[in-house]
């Protein structure tokens, strides 16, 4: 069962303080315990909890405890550990009895990608046939020439 984190009124100031720039960040408030969340995983570096507007029941968010806006800011070991935790949570959701025929991982890095909370987070959500989630941009196959040009541009700056 997920536990609910609630601020402890008698506990004094939170032990994990946000940097001033992150004081208006809802995920930092969840980390420091001043906002509620239904937590499924916590370790020294990461926290995972239920999304408040789930695509399907079992929709989880995995975040670094330290405030980082996007992928470019994210510590590499935190980034890789976020994926490891997502793998483990996906397996747990599959075993949980929640409806889960498949899983999506999703990370929005920037407003044009749909990022709404500017504290980097990896979504993990269960999927099943007939659910209402849609990610269909009507994309078409590209030519090999175009794909090779794109690959060359990316390789050139790796
Ligand atoms: P984004 O669009 O930035 O990738 O996703 C942000 C996610 O954070 C959304 O799915 C939204 O439902 C979730 N969210 C926003 N505010 C809160 C909150 O206060 N608590 C929790 N648990 N999730 C939140
Ligand atoms: Zn934050």
Res 17: pLDDT: 44
Question: Closest ligand to 61 CA?
Answer: 1
The answer to whether residue 10 is domain-embedded is no
Of 31, 32, 92, 33, nearest to 60 (Cα)? 92
Quick check: helix, strand or coil at residue 148?
helix
Question: Closest ligand to 56 CA?
Answer: 1
The answer to whether residue 11 is domain-embedded is no
Q: Report the distance separating Cα 19 and Cα 14, nearest Å.
A: 13
Q: Say how far residue 37 (Cα) sits from the centre of its chain.
A: 14
The answer to whether residue 42 is domain-embedded is yes
The answer to whether residue 106 is domain-embedded is yes
Number of domains in the chain: 1
Alpha-helical segments (H) within 38-119? 76-95
The answer to whether residue 101 is domain-embedded is yes
| Confidence at 20, pLDDT banded by 50, 70, 90 | very low
Query: Could you tell me the residue range of the domain that residue 26 belongs to?
Result: 20-157
CATH code where residue 41 lies? 3.30.428.10
pTM beyond 0.75: yes
| Confidence at 153, pLDDT banded by 50, 70, 90 | very high
The answer to whether residue 143 is domain-embedded is yes
The answer to whether residue 7 is domain-embedded is no
The answer to whether residue 151 is domain-embedded is yes
Of all protein residues, the one whose alpha carbon is nearest to atom 13 of ligand 1 is: 51
* pLDDT tens-place string over residues 82-100: 999 999 999 999 999 999 9
């Amino acid at each position: 069962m997920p536990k609910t984190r609630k601020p402890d009124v008698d506990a004094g100031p939170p032990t994990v303080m946000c940097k001033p720039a992150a004081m208006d960040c809802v995920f930092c408030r969840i980390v420091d315990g001043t906002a509620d969340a239904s937590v499924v995983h916590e370790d020294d570096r990461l926290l995972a909890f239920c999304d408040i507007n789930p695509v399907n029941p079992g929709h989880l968010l995995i975040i670094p405890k330290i405030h980082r806006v996007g992928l470019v800011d994210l510590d590499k070991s935190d980034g890789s550990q976020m994926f490891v935790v997502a793998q483990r949570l996906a397996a747990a959701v599959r075993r949980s009895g929640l409806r889960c025929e498949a899983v999506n991982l999703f990370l929005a890095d920037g407003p044009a990608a749909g990022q709404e909370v500017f504290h980097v987070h990896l979504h993990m959500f269960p999927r099943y046939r007939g659910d209402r989630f849609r990610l269909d941009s009507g994309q078409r196959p590209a030519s090999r020439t175009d794909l090779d040009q794109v690959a060359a541009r990316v390789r050139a700056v790796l």
